[in-house]
Structure 1
Amino acid sequence: MSYVNLKEVLRNTKNQKFAVGAFNFNGYEDVQGIVNAASHLNAPIIVAASMSVVRYFGLKQIVGLVRGIAEAVDIPVCLHLDHSTSVDLCKEAIVAGFGSVMIDASAKSYEDNIHDTVEVVQFARKYGASVEAEIGHVGGVEDNIVVSKEDALLTNPSDAQKFYEATKVDALAVAIGTAHGFYKKEPKIDFERLQTIRNLVPCHLVLHGGTGVPDKDFKRCVDCGMSKINVGTELKKVYTDTIRNQCAVVSRQEIDPKKLTKQVKTNIEDAVMKKIITFGSDDKI
């Protein structure tokens, strides 16, 4: 039960009314902290790698790292490729051993988005991998993909229904008012739109732009049927703030790098545990 695909890790979310957190990582320490948090709370977990992290580590290296950590715990862990704009990269990740990939063709035409998604879905089925796609545009910045407020179009429920019927994707990210990165003011989430989409689309729904969303809004999203919630920017800040703080308190004569990085695991773990409890996924395996 340790290393699974996205469909498996989300399978009970709709009927039991909880969401699984997808947490982006940037190094060994935060992967370990993310999985530790889920293990402590007996929760399913998604470990997400962006395209920039793939370029930094390599696909096979990421699979080896996450699979090794996952096999040491008794919870379901899904390794997910986040926001890939490349069909080829999705295929390469699946072959390398990712349990799930996101093909993000939302910046293309509706027809091209369907075309790319179908191609990835058909390829993934041969390997038992899951596929997430996006319809509408989630605003902000994610891995150097910039969507302005003006272009952050909310998902049309009818389009979402037709998109699912054409692609049979496992999970669908929808734009309902959140944005990637830090918010300058509290986001205004269109819960009525989310509920309408939930009633029309049978696959798992995904919320991107989870950093800075109030807990009450997360819980309402889950009540409306959201199955997966992405958190990335918040963990980046925890990671970098921790390193900066450790550099200030650890002796300059210290040459053991672990003295600087060990606290990252602990602080990431604390941050992820809070989100798991908010999403209601604790004790859900």
Structure 2
Amino acid sequence: MPLVPVKELLEKAEAGGYAVGAFNCNNMEIIQAIVDAAEAEKAPVIVQASQGAIKYAGLEYITALTRVAAEHASVPVALHLDHGTSFEQVMQCIRYGFTSVMIDGSKLSLEENIALTNKVLDVARAVGVSVEAELGKIGGTEDDITVDEWEANMTDPGEAKTFVEATGVDSLAVAIGTAHGQYKGTPKLDFERLRKIKELVKVPIVLHGSSGVPDDAIRRAIELGVRKVNIDTNLREAFVAGVKEIITANPKEIDPRKILGPAKKAMSAVIREKIRLFGSAGKA
């Protein structure tokens, strides 16, 4: 079936009380693993591409590969830009056929973030493309964040209300204690902050940096209103583990298919587990 907007998937998730998995892609095998897992679990799914993925694989390749995967799938598939940082890049992704975009103005002031998001919304709405925005800064492996700085980066519930009312954005990514990349310890999510945000904000909430977050914490976040959960690092870990296993067992192997095939299966198994955790299995 054709690619669908993320908004369509999240509205159903909101009504059903579950979350849709958004999995980052970098090449053909990862896209196949994502859609294969969604098919096996009869679940809606979001394939998303980051700045790094677009630079590595190329916008044309990512769009074409995902479109082909969706056309051969019996479950709804959306193609989403993860952390778009400029109006120009967002427009380019829309032009190439992305059905959803994230405009990340979280480093800007609240007023500037609202203005940039509305600029994107003006165009995206006209062509039926979903828009995700971010409020609060989500840490990453390259950021040396202390406890005090971490707290300062958390999403303010009152600002979230102001932001959503001023934009009418389709979904909102919030900072409640997750981070991008591998965690050194166990992340502690601020569920009270999430509860307050959801009380004030009537759009689906997005949780970034969810790889490595304990399952019970993910379930609680979904109970409190998270409707899109982003996973990237767990896929990379599964991919690399699959490749290492084959090369270690068969150091003379030179057939890429025999190396990447098992890695694809390893990723697909992880994605299926996440889909069940998010409650979206059987929701296609």
Residue equivalent to 2:283: 284
Mind listing any 5+ residue stretches in structure 2 that lack a counterpart? Answer: none
Instruction: Pick closer, same or farther for the CA change 1:34–1:147 going to 2, 3 Å.
Output: farther
Residue equivalent to 1:248: 248
CA distance in 2, matches of 1:261, 1:182: 23
Residue equivalent to 1:214: 214
Q: TM-score, normalised by structure 1?
A: 0.95
Deviations 1:23-71 (A, max 9, x none): 1112111111111111111101011101011112222221110010111
Moved more, 37-46 or 55-64: 55-64
Deviations 1:157-201 (A, max 9, x none): 110011011111111000111111112221111111111111111
Residue equivalent to 1:148: 145
Amino acid at match of 1:148: I
Asked if the contact 2:26/2:57 (under 8 Å) is kept, the reply is no
Mind listing any 5+ residue stretches in structure 1 that lack a counterpart? Answer: none
Higher helix share: 2
TM-superposed CA distance for 1:114, in Å, is 1.1
Amino acid at match of 1:73: A
TM-superposed CA distance for 1:210, in Å, is 0.3
Amino acid at match of 1:80: H
CA distance in 2, matches of 1:215, 1:134: 23
Residue equivalent to 2:108: 108
Deviations 1:81-116 (A, max 9, x none): 101112210110011100111111101111111111
CA distance in 1, matches of 2:209, 2:2: 27
**1:3-82 superposed matches below 5 A:** 3-82=3-82
CA distance in 1, matches of 2:220, 2:5: 26
CA distance in 1, matches of 2:136, 2:22: 20
Asked if the contact 2:208/2:229 (under 8 Å) is kept, the reply is yes
CA distance in 2, matches of 1:2, 1:55: 25
**Tell me, what secondary structure is at the counterpart of 1:228?**
strand
Asked if the contact 2:136/2:155 (under 8 Å) is kept, the reply is yes
**Tell me, what secondary structure is at the counterpart of 2:11?**
coil
Q: RMSD of the alignment, in Å? A: 1.4
Amino acid at match of 1:5: P
Q: TM-score, normalised by structure 2?
A: 0.95
Amino acid at match of 1:276: I
CA distance in 2, matches of 1:95, 1:82: 16
CA distance in 2, matches of 1:105, 1:29: 31
**Tell me, what secondary structure is at the counterpart of 1:9?**
helix
Residue equivalent to 2:170: 170
Amino acid at match of 1:85: T
Deviations 1:3-31 (A, max 9, x none): 10110121211221100011111211111
**Tell me, what secondary structure is at the counterpart of 2:237?**
helix
CA distance in 2, matches of 1:232, 1:49: 10
Residue equivalent to 2:97: 97
Q: Which structure 1 residue ranges, 4+ long, deviate > 3 Å from structure 2?
A: 149-152
CA distance in 2, matches of 1:114, 1:91: 17
Residue equivalent to 1:126: 126
Moved more, 168-177 or 57-66: 57-66
Asked if the contact 1:60/1:97 (under 8 Å) is kept, the reply is no
Work out the percentage of aligned pairs sharing the same amino acid: 44
Residue equivalent to 2:268: 269
The alignment covers a number of residue pairs equal to 281
CA distance in 1, matches of 2:66, 2:124: 19
